[in-house]
């Protein structure tokens, strides 16, 4: 897939597992290295995955000590557009014409030795959501995924297909454009966030997101 938090000094689940935080510029090479390695293992090209220093990208990463073990990037829509415009420009122009503020989730990668990948993915996506929606004001998030992963993103997070598979030359593999209304994500987080240890049964990732108290504490830290 081309999409492919303990560090806040807060209580409860924030202190469990890898530290999740907004990466600083000096962490970017490690995030890029993780993405490049994981993409190469799947036969994808990763020559165009560097983070541009244009103020439109936020990188969220998971750390075990100094090592980056997970990462996801949020790119805000701007005059330069989104990475997905390279393949899906007509569809993205149509979405923009509806007046919704967009962002893009991309460069998702986890180290293969990570324990409890569901929890880590949930917390990474939650931090990405906070930057995109609560801080950045984005209303819609788009992703490019391998066709094999469409069912996963639909079932686990609620993304919907916006365009069928086309060749993505940036990774030399087919890609499908998907999108999610971030207000829907907010609803799911309110309903299910922080409930992974409960008896509630759901196939989505949302129980692995932070609960309301932890989300509020993270937002307070991010706004400082």
Positions of the chain with pLDDT lower than 50, given as ranges: 5-15, 49-52
Sign for the pseudo-dihedral over CA of 73, 168, 206, 186: positive
Structure tokens at 143: 């992703």
**Dihedral over alpha carbons 194, 161, 98, 188 (to 10 degrees):** -10
Cβ neighbours of 20 (radius 10 Å): 24
Which pLDDT score, from 0 to 100, does residue 7 have?
43
Q: How many residues does the chain have?
A: 224
Q: What is the pLDDT of residues 116-146, one digit of tens each?
A: 899 999 999 999 999 999 999 999 999 999 9
Backbone angles phi, psi at 55, to 5 degrees: 80, 0
Integer Cα distance of 13 and 131 in angstroms: 20
Closest C-alpha to 167, from 106, 92, 88, 81 = 88
Domains of the chain: 6-217 (3.40.630.30)
Q: What is the pLDDT of residues 80-111, one digit of tens each?
A: 899 999 999 999 999 999 998 999 999 999 99
This prediction's pTM: 0.90
Structure tokens at 221: 């830290």
Which pLDDT score, from 0 to 100, does residue 201 have?
66
Give the strand pairing for 140-145 and 102-110.
parallel
Rg for the chain, CA atoms, rounded: 16
């Amino acid at each position: 897939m081309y999409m492919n938090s303990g560090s806040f000094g807060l209580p409860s689940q924030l202190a469990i597992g890898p530290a999740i935080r907004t990466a600083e510029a000096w962490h970017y090479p490690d995030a890029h290295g993780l993405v490049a390695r994981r993409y190469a293992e799947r036969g994808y090209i990763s020559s165009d995955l560097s983070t541009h220093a244009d103020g439109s990208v936020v990188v969220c990463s998971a750390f075990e000590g100094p090592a980056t073990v997970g990462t996801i990037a949020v790119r805000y829509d701007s005059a330069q557009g989104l990475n997905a415009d390279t393949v899906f420009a007509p569809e993205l122009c149509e979405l923009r014409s509806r007046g919704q503020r967009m962002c893009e989730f991309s460069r998702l990668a986890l180290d293969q030795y990570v324990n409890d990948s569901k929890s880590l993915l949930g917390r990474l996506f939650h931090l990405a959501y906070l930057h995109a929606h609560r801080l950045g004001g984005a209303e819609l998030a788009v992703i490019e995924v391998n066709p094999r992963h469409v069912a996963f993103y639909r079932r686990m997070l609620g993304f919907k297909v916006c365009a069928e598979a086309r060749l993505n030359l940036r990774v030399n593999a087919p890609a499908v454009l998907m999108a999610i209304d971030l207000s829907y994500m907010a609803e799911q987080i309110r309903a299910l966030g922080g409930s992974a240890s409960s008896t509630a049964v759901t196939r989505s990732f949302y129980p692995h997101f932070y609960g309301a108290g932890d989300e509020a504490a993270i937002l307070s830290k991010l706004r400082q």
